[in-house]
Structure 1
């Protein structure tokens, strides 16, 4: 499933006309689970049977958004490891990543799986505060190998833990070393140098920056890094929390800067998936790509050593270039799992170094959260990525994880797509975002 290209199409798909009159609070708290609210293609939890609800349950259901081939295979291997260690079978219900995110409210209020994949940050806390996730503080009492930062990222507003981290990945600008060596390109450290490099790549017949936003979320990474570089981490966090105005000169400067960079971005991005953009980098048709470490999924095993990255360059010397997006992926438990004991056993395993070791062995496109894991098998790229995150002064979770889910999906995604299509009416666009923000954050 791909996201629609225009704001009107996006809203039509997300909220069908039959329920368009409902406000966002009603949409979240209403009779979700009946199949009416979010149209077709709804998530459907596998669930365990009532007979499995005891401590001796032999099955546990897992809702997974890891639908791409490589991460899906890694999840399967981890679940096999759980069965070997516990004797409990984890039945995985895999759903397309975008479908999973768009329908998560309905899913959690219906009959969700016992355990489901999700993200750290505001989005985790949001569902925990709505009573749509189970308390896993006792699981955390059995975990080891996590820094205080990871525990904080797993903690709800009430001080309890609702999330078990599994992996994380930094966003950076990726490139192929062989292409750069052949052309004599140098890593840019300022915005001017980036623009100059982009102009040279155009002359050399390359697309300077691969770009895709058919799925709606990739452009959020571009907004995030520009906002972090121009206005700093705290402003970014406050803007995501609804505490700053989108009509401010600070936000306008982000979009003005972005508009100036669009000419060196791959055109027609609203009709392209991130995988297709990554393939243009893999095929040496593009010179750079701002994306998460998972870009490596689109490269063959013998090409991994040719992939490298640099952090997005500095824009304001007073702010520097040390902040970055490094989202944390992991798992949560349903508020009323069919098999709570089995669900918690699974979460304890998913947070273990044994599970992390399986991931390290099978996936070169991510970093594991458990510091007790054997990372000797990391590729050079993974080691560099871990060092980048370790040297960051501030780490954001990514736009749609650092703000309200309804604001990200119904306002920001279509707004960014509209900007990409027509970057000339920035003031009008920001006024629209601000007006919708006020409505959403006061509900």
Structure 2
């Protein structure tokens, strides 16, 4: 099995869009969640979201291009540009037939879908934008990156609801590990914070009911009442280790394993015992011969919903047994909200920063202990700690579970 390393990272998130800014905000427990101010509907009960107010696509795209591209693609393309620039990669050093793009989205062009339905109902189908289909396509972002950089390897778009970003990175890792590619631009993007998106989640009672910001996204807290939706994108440049060394690349971390399972239990509820989440973590750890004792940190899926947080706690206890309380855990969704299909990719970046900068990000606003959730969730304050091995977990509607193991690369 070939080794796979991360040599570039690009991010657009509620807590920042520059790597060093994001690391600083994670350490300080900065909350990027804010009051909803761009959506108005008398039936909208959600008060908070994680919106990327500082995102300006005009730094990358012309006004004409912006008008022909859904916000989800704008976010993903911009994050990809930042990741590629960060890696300082020259694609001419590669066989472009072996450079792949694997970028997922849980939904695709949600804003375009909503606008198209309005036009159809109010004006008829003959007034639909002729670019509706390419703007809606979930694979638009992966294809757009490939087109702009002339990358002729596979262009793939996994869709696994809230595990999408992690699934995309896993697929990119496997493509290099198994010899199908030498470099992969991989991650996820999401922009589903529309009335249709938020309203649909509201109807299944998945969203936070909080009346104050410090009670909105509170994973593992006894008063948690649902998740806070958010938008953004996270993109990684993955490379085969020897090639990265040869070109003198900066290496953030190595992907040391990956695991993927399905609960096969329920379309929206997780299997409460967490056994298949545990199996995904176990497969990631053992793929290259690592052990449970190696794990220093787990970036939990931690959605702030009653069922997920209980299930994930059960999964960690099931797998780590007597050591479960010794492993540092946190949910960075307490700071960002839930980026849906982009969550896993953004959280992979957070996990890598924990390794690089030797700290455990906090679970902020964890104030009311839940007696059934009794692990080390790194409440409220970051902890300085050397992190050599870290897991990043994602779980999704439909029962998709993905875990990635990252490790510090020794000289």
Task: Choose 1 or 2 for highest CA Rg.
Answer: 1
- TM-score if structure 1 supplies the norm length? 0.23
Higher relative strand content: 2
TM-score normalised by length of structure 2:
0.24
